[in-house]
């Protein structure tokens, strides 16, 4: 009740109220409760370690991070519009051109840019050739059909908040800094926005990519298409800080063709200059191949999120189960969306969040961090997060099916703690059977003193990877959400799994029988597999200023390794 009052007061006053102090009913202990059904450690005095390394992570970006005043002057706008037109021409031409500009990879079937042909076609791209030795070029293209019309898509791309909602696993933060140009009629065509965005991979082992860029929109009535192009601030770069590691969005974006029944065919192009910052070997192949930030990932997430939005807006749902109304269903879906976004933010390097390695070994992927949380939406106090990534010799769909099934996941002793789960509500939000939201009841032992709690779970899968995220939530909070009350006050501390398809490449020596000289040829074999990232969060203390001790870190590290080992063992045995 106190948390709910704090939330309401802070919404009206803009100032958070202090959290409740330690309750005298809890005895200090170094035994950490690591089950997903517990949201705090049973300890209030968590040691005497210094807190210098602790970095507060706000749930949403602070406005002070972004420039407050318009950065493109009136006399500069004509230059920006000229650049917009030339960049749009480049994007449309690249979207409509096939080989030899685009070359298809033989092993992944992805389309990659032929840089020599690109430099020949676009004479103004000379600086790309000059920077080739210093920076790496990433350029990919893909096409897909999505269940959303072009007008709705364009509206989402021109609204930074809607854009983030469409891509919660890719965009950690975005903001429109200035509307440089808009048509008098208010029509989207011809709009030119100055924007900022931070892009992420769901792991602390990969640095985020930050960029300031222009976004220009154009409608071609004759062809029935819309095009959105992002292009760099080359002529205005002195006004903006360079990102680290270096990242520049060259003309990138999408061409949207309306189709019958409210669908759209989207051709997506991602083209950028990037600096190869030091990268953990686990993710090196995924990032260098373009899979982490490439066109295929953007389109795969867009397809899935458009299906989710179609489910969110559906009104003719016949079987709601225990969900009392379509409005309650929508509220539960919005709560799950916030849970997904919170999880994505809290396991990446966004907002400048720093992570600590527990070992000097390059093979050790465990990273930990702490956050002091005083804002509504998450439990207030000191939160300890731990993430690790492991390569497993299993197809990502196989791992996904195992982790999203609450009955099979109960085999993981380190997660279930002897309790089983029973699904009481189910919301399908995509064509893939695994894309759904579940409300699960925790079946505790009859002699347990644990109060009745529920688990909110969302699982989603697409061509770029899969994710299973869940959080413990009490019955009163679910009832509040279903009754139409504002669910933003409900504290969520999600944990979950992210699965990236990634084959493991290794050398093998084979003797060629066709060669008369019997020469030994070295071949590169690809073993099918996936990267599994496990992210857990625990409330270390209800006091945000508390300090973390070594025993807490050791316990979390041990728990994380046990989860990964048990998953590998159970998948291997099946």
Query: Is 189 part of any domain?
Result: yes
Tell me the CA distances in angstroms from 385 to 83, 238, 372, 414, one per residue in order: 44, 37, 11, 17
Q: Whole-angstrom Cα distance, residue 132 to residue 71?
A: 29
| CATH code of the domain containing 119 | 3.30.530.20
For 504-546, what is each residue's pLDDT tens digit?
655 444 444 445 444 444 454 567 899 999 999 988 888 888 8
Query: Is 20 part of any domain?
Result: no
Q: Is 192 strand, coil or helix?
A: strand
Query: Is 66 part of any domain?
Result: no
Q: Is 14 strand, coil or helix?
A: coil
Work out the angle between the directed axes of helices 326-346 and 295-313 (0-180°, nearest 10). Answer: 150
Q: Which residues contact 254 (CB under 8 A, 6 or more apart)?
A: 95, 157, 227, 228, 266, 267, 268, 269
Q: Is 540 strand, coil or helix?
A: strand
Write out the chain's pLDDT in tens, 574 residues: 565 566 555 554 555 555 554 332 222 333 344 444 444 433 333 333 333 333 333 333 344 355 555 688 888 899 999 999 999 999 999 999 988 999 988 777 788 898 889 988 887 655 554 555 578 899 999 999 999 999 999 999 999 999 999 999 999 999 999 999 987 676 788 899 999 999 999 999 999 999 999 999 999 988 889 999 999 988 776 667 777 888 999 999 999 999 988 899 999 999 999 987 778 889 988 898 888 999 999 999 999 999 999 999 887 776 667 788 888 899 999 999 999 999 999 999 998 889 999 888 878 899 999 988 888 888 889 999 999 999 999 999 999 999 998 878 777 766 666 677 888 899 999 889 999 999 988 876 655 555 678 999 999 999 999 999 999 998 888 988 888 788 888 999 999 999 999 876 554 444 444 454 444 444 545 678 999 999 999 888 888 888 887 888 888 888 899 899 989 988 887 6
Q: Which residues contact 304 (CB under 8 A, 6 or more apart)?
A: 430, 432, 435, 460, 461, 462
Q: Are residues 338 and 358 in the same domain?
A: yes
For residue 253, the enclosing domain spans: 74-126+133-311
CA 356 to chain centroid: 21
Select from 311, 329, 344 the last residue of a domain: 311
Q: Are residues 300 and 384 in the same domain?
A: no
Query: Is 15 part of any domain?
Result: no
In this structure, are residues 376 and 342 in contact, taking their beta carbons and an 8 Å threshold? no
State percent of the chain over pLDDT 90: 44
pTM of the predicted model, to two decimals?
0.84
Tell me the CA distances in angstroms from 70 to 73, 76, 183, 193, one per residue in order: 7, 12, 18, 11
Query: Is 549 part of any domain?
Result: yes
Q: Are residues 258 and 307 in the same domain?
A: yes
DSSP 8-class letter at 169: T
Q: Are residues 302 and 431 in the same domain?
A: no
Q: Nearest-CA neighbor of 379 among 62, 58, 39?
A: 39
Q: Nearest-CA neighbor of 4 among 15, 19, 24?
A: 19
Q: Are residues 138 and 113 in the same domain?
A: yes
Residues in a beta bridge with 147: none
Select from 287, 311, 335 the last residue of a domain: 311
Q: Is the dihedral of CA 38, 40, 45, 50 positive or negative?
A: positive
CA 128 to chain centroid: 29
Q: Whole-angstrom Cα distance, residue 7 to residue 477?
A: 13
What is the structure's pLDDT at 62? 40
Q: Are residues 212 and 353 in the same domain?
A: no
DSSP 8-class letter at 503: P
In this structure, are residues 178 and 72 in contact, taking their beta carbons and an 8 Å threshold? yes
Q: Are residues 327 and 298 in the same domain?
A: no
Two structure tokens written together for 425:
């509500």
Q: Are residues 266 and 358 in the same domain?
A: no
In this structure, are residues 471 and 494 in contact, taking their beta carbons and an 8 Å threshold? yes
What is the structure's pLDDT at 32? 44
Select from 276, 311, 346 the last residue of a domain: 311
State percent of the chain over pLDDT 70: 78
Cis? peptide before 245, omega within 30° of 0: yes
Query: Is 206 part of any domain?
Result: yes
In this structure, are residues 339 and 439 in contact, taking their beta carbons and an 8 Å threshold? no
CB atoms within 10 A of CB 426: 15
Q: Are residues 448 and 486 in the same domain?
A: yes
Q: Rounded to a whole number, what is the distance in angstroms from the first to the last CA of the chain?
A: 46
Query: Is 69 part of any domain?
Result: no
DSSP 8-class letter at 428: E
Query: Is 59 part of any domain?
Result: no
Q: Are residues 410 and 290 in the same domain?
A: no
In this structure, are residues 495 and 470 in contact, taking their beta carbons and an 8 Å threshold? yes
Tell me the CA distances in angstroms from 217 to 97, 176, 229, one per residue in order: 20, 14, 7
Number of domain units in the chain:
2
Q: Are residues 540 and 416 in the same domain?
A: yes
Q: Are residues 287 and 358 in the same domain?
A: no
In this structure, are residues 541 and 42 in contact, taking their beta carbons and an 8 Å threshold? no
Q: Nearest-CA neighbor of 394 among 525, 288, 500?
A: 500
């Amino acid at each position: 009740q106190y948390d709910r009052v704090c939330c309401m007061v802070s919404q009206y006053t803009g100032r958070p109220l202090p959290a409740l102090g330690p309750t005298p009913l809890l005895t200090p202990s170094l035994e950490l409760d690591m089950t997903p059904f517990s949201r705090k450690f049973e300890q209030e005095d968590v040691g005497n370690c210094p807190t210098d390394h602790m970095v507060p992570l706000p749930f949403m970006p602070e406005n002070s991070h972004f420039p407050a005043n318009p950065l493109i002057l009136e006399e500069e706008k004509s230059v920006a519009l000229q650049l917009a037109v030339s960049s749009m021409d480049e994007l449309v031409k690249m979207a409509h051109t096939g080989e030899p500009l685009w070359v298809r990879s033989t092993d992944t079937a992805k389309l990659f840019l032929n840089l020599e042909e690109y430099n020949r076609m676009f004479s103004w791209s000379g600086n790309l050739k000059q920077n080739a030795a210093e920076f790496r070029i990433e350029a990919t293209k893909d096409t897909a059909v999505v269940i959303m019309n072009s007008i709705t898509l364009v509206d989402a791309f021109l609204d930074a908040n809607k854009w983030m909602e469409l891509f919660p696993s890719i965009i950690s933060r975005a903001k429109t800094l200035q509307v440089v140009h808009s048509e008098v009629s208010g029509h989207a065509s011809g709009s030119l926005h100055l924007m900022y965005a931070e892009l992420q991979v769901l792991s602390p082992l990969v640095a985020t990519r930050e960029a300031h860029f222009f976004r220009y929109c154009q409608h071609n009535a004759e062809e029935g298409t819309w095009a959105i192009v992002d292009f760099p601030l080359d002529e205005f770069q002195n006004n903006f800080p360079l990102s680290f590691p270096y990242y520049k969005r060259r003309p990138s974006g999408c061409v949207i063709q309306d189709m019958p029944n409210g669908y759209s065919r989207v051709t997506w192009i991602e083209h950028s200059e990037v600096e190869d910052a030091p990268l953990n070997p686990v993710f090196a192949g995924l990032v260098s191949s373009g899979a982490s930030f490439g066109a295929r990932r953007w389109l795969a997430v867009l397809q899935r999120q458009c299906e989710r939005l179609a489910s969110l807006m559906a009104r003719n749902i016949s079987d709601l189960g225990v969900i009392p109304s379509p409005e309650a269903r929508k509220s539960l879906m919005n709560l799950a969306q916030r849970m997904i976004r919170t999880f994505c933010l809290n396991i990446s390097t966004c907002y400048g969040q720093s992570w600590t390695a527990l070992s000097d070994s390059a093979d050790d992927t465990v990273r930990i961090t702490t956050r002091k949380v005083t804002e509504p939406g998450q439990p207030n106090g000191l939160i300890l997060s731990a993430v690790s990534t492991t390569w497993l010799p299993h197809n990502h769909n196989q791992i996904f099916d195992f982790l999203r099934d609450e009955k099979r996941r109960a085999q993981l002793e380190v997660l279930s703690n002897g309790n089983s789960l029973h699904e009481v509500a189910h919301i399908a939000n995509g064509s893939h059977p695994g894309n759904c939201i579940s409300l699960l009841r925790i079946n505790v032992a009859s002699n347990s003193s644990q109060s009745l709690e529920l688990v909110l779970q969302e699982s989603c899968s697409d061509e770029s990877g899969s994710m299973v995220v869940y959080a413990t939530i009490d019955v009163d909070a679910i009832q509040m959400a279903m009754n139409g009350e504002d669910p933003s006050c409900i504290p969520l501390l999600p944990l979950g799994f992210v699965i990236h398809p990634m084959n493991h490449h290794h050398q093998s020596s084979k003797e060629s029988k066709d060669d008369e000289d019997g020469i030994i040829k070295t071949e590169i074999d690809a073993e099918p597999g996936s990267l599994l990232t496990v992210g857990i969060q625990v409330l270390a203390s209800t006091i945000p200023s508390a300090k973390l001790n070594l025993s807490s870190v050791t316990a979390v590290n041990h728990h994380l390794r046990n989860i990964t080992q048990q998953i590998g063992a159970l998948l291997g045995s099946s």
